[in-house]
Amino acid sequence: MVKDIPIWRVKYLPKKLGQINGREKIKERLKFIIEQRNFPHLLFVGPEAIGKTLIAQLFSKEFLRVHFEPNFKLVYANVPLSNEERAEARSDAYVSTSRIGSLAGRTITTPAFIQVKVKPFVQLKALGNVPYKILVVKNFEALGSNQQGFRRLMEIYGSNCRMILITTKISNIIDPIISRCQIFLIPPIEYDSFRDLIIHITKSENLEIEESIIEILYRITEGRIAQAIDLIQLCSITNKEIDINAIYQGFSKSKNDLVRSLLLMCLKGDFPKARELARKIQSNFKYNSQDFFVLLSKELLKLPLSNFTRTKLMNLIAEADFRAVDGQDTDIQVSTLLSKICYFSEFL
């Protein structure tokens, strides 16, 4: 039962498009599409962790109705393929039989992500009484140069499958993709809607919270409702009255947990996920490079590592901090540091 779910962000997750707080104009546009039973490819653009994917999923459920399961797919463009998936992509390549021209005898391949994650779904006909299938691609900007291959797929299979592309960086999307999509700018939740939901949750959980605390919660989470709900649940463990001290302590703990997870990812050698998490931490908490490296150092001291390993990693952090102070690009310095820690982890 839903009431038995211990995680509040799941317990209070909207089940229908109309239950999403705020964003009234967005919901009106999507409901109109559902009534018309027709829409072009869509491009959802907005800040990280504000509910773009949830909106896409709930829209797809109401559009596809009882035929949702076989006709919907969500893929993450920034998740690396497994070795098995890469092997499958290589096996699907073919050698051109052309005897003249630049393609003569060449191995023809489709980008691995498209070949394995996308093409098998979009090329199959929609099942049931629906006009087409729906594919949602999260973090679409991560495809990089493979966006051209994806564009061709949109043209070939567009009559069978509509695509909802999700990104935080429209500047990283190529113009041919943008021109083929209807753009939805997804804003953060408005304060009034945020406040109403927080009050509803606190009353349901027998908690007390003042208006001023809700305002502080809105500011530090920048309207990210899932993060705000997590903070309230964390604070409720020790006190039924949510005060400013509990909010800031919970906020600090969540930051530390994320940084600790980042270090553990690096020590496991998972660079792509570590870089993505580092960018989320910097974006969500507005760290400058020095603050970020200081927090890394503090969390590093808490990990059960040998003196040699801890000293080596502290040196790497210090070098990255020095280069960042020297005025070089912060994101490059953070990514370089993470890659060095991942490389060092191979010798542990």
Residue 311 contacts residue 243 (beta carbons within 8 Å): no
Cβ-proximal residues to 132 (8 Å cutoff; 6+ apart), any chain:
71, 126, 159, 160, 161, 162
Residue 223's alpha-carbon distances to 191, 307, 312, 331, in angstroms, are 7, 41, 39, 25
d(C-alpha 70, C-alpha 208), whole Å: 44
Reported as a pLDDT band with limits 50, 70 and 90, residue 103 is: very low
Q: Supply the DSSP symbol for 295.
A: H
Listed residue (189, 269, 259) closest to 227, CA to CA: 189
* pLDDT of the residue at 3: 47
Total Cβ atoms within 10 A of residue 323: 17
d(C-alpha 227, C-alpha 165), whole Å: 23
Specify burial of residue 250 (Cβ count, 10 A radius: 0-12, 13-18, 19+): buried
End-to-end distance of the chain based on CA atoms, in angstroms? Answer: 45
Reported as a pLDDT band with limits 50, 70 and 90, residue 334 is: confident
Q: Which residue ranges form the domains of the chain, and what is each CATH number?
A: 23-79+112-185 (3.40.50.300), 191-254 (1.10.8.60), 255-345 (1.20.272.10)
Residue 263 contacts residue 296 (beta carbons within 8 Å): yes
Rg of the chain (C-alpha set): 23
d(C-alpha 272, C-alpha 85), whole Å: 17
Q: What is the secondary structure of 103-118 as a DSSP string?
A: TTTPEE---HHIIIII
Residue 214's alpha-carbon distances to 6, 201, 231, in angstroms, are 22, 12, 11
pLDDT tens track for 186-221: 988 999 999 999 999 999 999 999 998 899 889 888
Residue 26, pLDDT above cutoff 50: yes
* pLDDT of the residue at 22: 86
pTM above threshold 0.85: no
Residue 2, pLDDT above cutoff 50: no
pLDDT tens track for 230-276: 888 888 887 788 888 778 777 766 677 778 888 888 888 888 888 88
pLDDT tens track for 138-171: 999 988 888 988 999 999 999 999 999 999 889 9
pLDDT tens track for 293-312: 888 888 888 888 888 888 99
Reported as a pLDDT band with limits 50, 70 and 90, residue 107 is: very low
Q: What is the H or E stretch that residue 9 is in? A: helix 8-11
Residue 144: left if φ>0, alpha if ψ -120 to 50, beta else—which one? left
Rounded average pLDDT over 93-115:
56
Listed residue (157, 212, 239, 224) closest to 188, CA to CA: 224
d(C-alpha 161, C-alpha 89), whole Å: 21
Number of H helices, E strands in the chain: 17, 9
Q: What is the H or E stretch that residue 56 is in? A: helix 52-64
* pLDDT of the residue at 31: 95
